[in-house]
Amino acid sequence: MINIAVLGYGTIGSGVVEVIETNHESINHKIGEPVHVKYVLDKRDLSDTPVASKAVTDYDIILNDDEVSIVVEVLGGVEPAYTFATQALEHGKSVATSNKELVAEKGAELLALAKSKNLNFLFEASVGGGIPIIRPLNQSLTADEINEITGILNGTTNYILTKMADEGTDFDEVLKDAQNKGYAELHPEADVEGYDACRKIAILTSLAFGMQVDYEDVHTEGITKITETDMKYAKALNMSIKLLGTSKKIGDNVYAMVCPMMIGKNHPLIGVNDVFNGIFVNGNVIGDVMFYGAGAGKLPTASAVVADVIDAAKHKERNIMQIWSEKKLHLADIGEFEHKFFVRLPKDSDRSKVKEVFGDVEEVSAEGVTDEFAFVTLKMKEKDYQEKIKAFDSVLGMIRINVK
């Protein structure tokens, strides 16, 4: 019997209990012994829930119960999750978590602690919800050196951008619709400003390159400035606008950023729409691979957490995660990062000056947009773009184009 404790009975916590119950037969078969939820910790009163008999509010009961070998942490946020996870490992219990804030900030430390105790700290659900990406990076793409990871890592913003593109409506209107449908929070900053995607690309970058990436170092822009007009231009260019978290290794430099970007019809992420997530990886021998699925949601996320529980149960006293070093990875200045730039200027802008400043550009016209002048630059460094664009007083908009 594998006894586990679930910390937090919110959406994901109740999903974990549900998945273990629904698929208990196949799960127990895979582990080789039955898995049993012995405790559910929550501050709230759970007496009216199906887990009333398992409910505790005092974490010490879990820590001091030697029968509990795995702790599932699905509280979210750094504290008390960090203290709870540390204590669990110190008490000889492996930890499975869906908590991106915790992993982004304390992942290296908790991985090292788990390794030192011959336990496991697993976090498949912290990036991409149900999509297997942490384990493939850790165990499948091991023959490769990673050149690039680029992902659509946030379902809310992908839903908003998909709706804006399909229906020709503006950001504010679609956000309201998403909030009504429960796809976006009342306070949507974490999603629409890119903070959520930022933590996820920090985790993926740390794992891919083996050193700690501080999410605060990742240049992050959200989607609030994307307009109906941008969508018309994207359509004219046969591209889609996506909020991407991207990191690339070029020579010894690692660049990472989160921002809305245009991608073309041949990019593997082009078909990732609505609330779905997709993660594209390029390795030096495997080439391009892509992983697609539900990036959030109760059951998909719980599926990933329970897969971690199964892995932890099958690897008692055996550490299986490739750890990343606590040593800080100094991200390179994104000024050196190269893209093409899609730029919108007022109609009366001096076109000969555009040519003079940017050289050959591709002019773009979009259906129903008559009072602007828009163009796409050649591939160039961010800092060169930022320097050159100063020559123009009024810039209506700029979106980077991801060039593979």
Binding-site residue numbers for L-homoserine are 185
Binding of residue 136 to a second copy (CB under 8 A): yes
Positive or negative: CA dihedral 53, 19, 305, 307? positive
Q: How far apart are CA 171 and CA 175, in angstroms?
A: 6
Binding of residue 329 to a second copy (CB under 8 A): no
First-to-last alpha carbon distance for the chain, in angstroms, is 49
Binding of residue 303 to a second copy (CB under 8 A): yes
Binding of residue 13 to a second copy (CB under 8 A): no
Binding of residue 168 to a second copy (CB under 8 A): no
Long-range own/partner contacts, residues 170-173 (CB < 8 A, 24 or more apart):
170/227, 170/228, 171/223, 171/224, 171/226, 171/227
Q: How far apart are CA 293 and CA 303, in angstroms?
A: 12
Strands (E), 169-286: 211-212, 219-220, 239-250, 253-264, 276-283
CB of 33 to a second copy, least distance (A): 14
Piece in contact with a second copy (CB under 8 A), picked from 72-80, 86-94, 124-132, 233-241: 124-132
Half-sphere exposure of 278 (CA within 13 A, CB side): 18
Binding of residue 118 to a second copy (CB under 8 A): no
Those residues whose C-beta lies under 8 Å from the C-beta of residue 187, and which sit 6 or more positions away, are none
Binding of residue 26 to a second copy (CB under 8 A): yes
**Binding-site sequence positions:** 7-14, 100, 185
Piece in contact with a second copy (CB under 8 A), picked from 50-58, 138-146, 325-333, 391-399: 138-146
Binding of residue 310 to a second copy (CB under 8 A): yes
Binding of residue 286 to a second copy (CB under 8 A): yes
Q: Active-site residue 248, yes or no?
A: no
Contact indicator for 20, 27 with CB cutoff of 8 Å: yes
Which amino acid makes up residue 219? H
- Which residue in the set 78, 292, 332, 381 belongs to the binding site for a second copy (CB under 8 A)? 292
**Per-residue contact track with a second copy, 70 to 109, x per CB under 8 A?**
----------------------------------------
Which residues of this chain interact with a second copy, rule CB under 8 A? 19, 22-23, 26-27, 30, 124, 130-132, 135-136, 139-145, 268, 270-271, 276, 283-294, 297, 299-300, 302-307, 309-311, 318, 322
